[in-house]
Amino acid sequence: MNIQSKPLSVLPNYASDSYLDAFSRINGLVIIGEGIACRHFRYLARAIPDDRDELLRLADMEARHASDFVGCANNLKVKPDLTLAKRLFQPLHDLFLSCERDENIAGCLTIQGVIVECFALAAYQNYLPVADSYASPITAAVIDDESLHLSYAERWLKLNLTDAKTIVVEISRKALPIALAILKTLAGDMRKISIEPEEIVASFSEGFKQSMESIGLSSKEVNPILIRAVASI
């Protein structure tokens, strides 16, 4: 069964060395990103006791995503490049840890719940039409979960906006260029697996704007941060 939604002519050759080599780095990034997301939601479960069970469920989903994407690498007989991925994710994780040390829950949720989740959604939505037939249903299911993670953060930040607003702005200003720098480093590999990095940036910007709007920030507050971050790449 062919479950891809793009014409065969634009689908990559999943067996080519170039595809498999690029996939090892992209897949490594995804596995590390999902592992770090799990760790971040476990911290949030401790920090927000009222929502502990819900946040632990989200953390468990992240652990499952990581192991499902390991399965995608095994299916293609690829060894994920975890070393590069750790290095690429470290600055975002460090920023999360500094918010964690300051007990800055709004900052943690801005990084993990909004920025990382918007990034993941933009990336997975653009990967889905060019995914191999093993990875495709896995990616579709992960996308549904990531939407739940984003909705949780939006709900919490909206409820706490009076105190959180300046933090959301300040942390977004720091975290957006870091997230976009990860994308820039792997732009060549993304093209090799038939994803246009510019389309991820466009989907990400759209998703981030919508998310900020749902939290209660105006486009006048959000646009300059986004424009500055996109100009930095």
Which one of 22, 25, 34, 68 is in contact with ligand PL3 (CB under 6 A)? Answer: 34
Is residue 231 within 8 Å of 173, Cβ to Cβ? Answer: no
Q: Minimal distance in Å, beta carbon 186 to ligand PL3? A: 7
Indicate which of Fe ion, ligand PL3, none lies near residue 29 (CB less than 5 to 8 Å, by partner kind): ligand PL3
List CB contacts of 49: < 8 A, sequence separation 6 or more.
Answer: none
What is the per-residue DSSP string for 96-123?
HHHHHHTT-HHHHIIIIIIIIHHHHHHH
Indicate which of Fe ion, ligand PL3, none lies near residue 176 (CB less than 5 to 8 Å, by partner kind): none
φ, ψ (nearest 5 deg) of residue 152: -60, -50
Is residue 85 within 8 Å of 29, Cβ to Cβ? Answer: yes
Provide the residue type at 129 as one letter.
Answer: P
Of the ranges 28-36, 93-101, 205-213, 219-227, which one interacts with ligand PL3 (CB under 6 A)?
A: 28-36
Q: Is 65 in the site for Fe ion (CB under 5 A)?
A: yes
Q: Minimal distance in Å, beta carbon 97 to ligand PL3? A: 16
Q: Mapped to the 3 state alphabet, what secondary structure does 53-98 carry?
A: HHHHHHHHHHHHHHHHHHHHHHHCCCCCCHHHHHHHHHHHHHHHHH
Of the ranges 33-41, 76-84, 158-166, 214-222, which one interacts with ligand PL3 (CB under 6 A)?
A: 33-41
Q: Is 33 in the site for ligand PL3 (CB under 6 A)?
A: yes
Total binding residues for Fe ion by CB under 5 A? 6
Instruction: For tokens 């989740």, name the residue.
Output: 117
Of the ranges 21-29, 142-150, 182-190, 197-205, which one interacts with Fe ion (CB under 5 A)?
A: 142-150
Which residues of this protein are in contact with Fe ion, per CB under 5 A? 34, 37, 62, 65, 146, 149
Residue ranges binding ligand PL3 (CB under 6 A): 26-27, 29-30, 33-34, 37, 62, 65, 69, 72, 116-117, 119-120, 123-124, 127, 146, 149
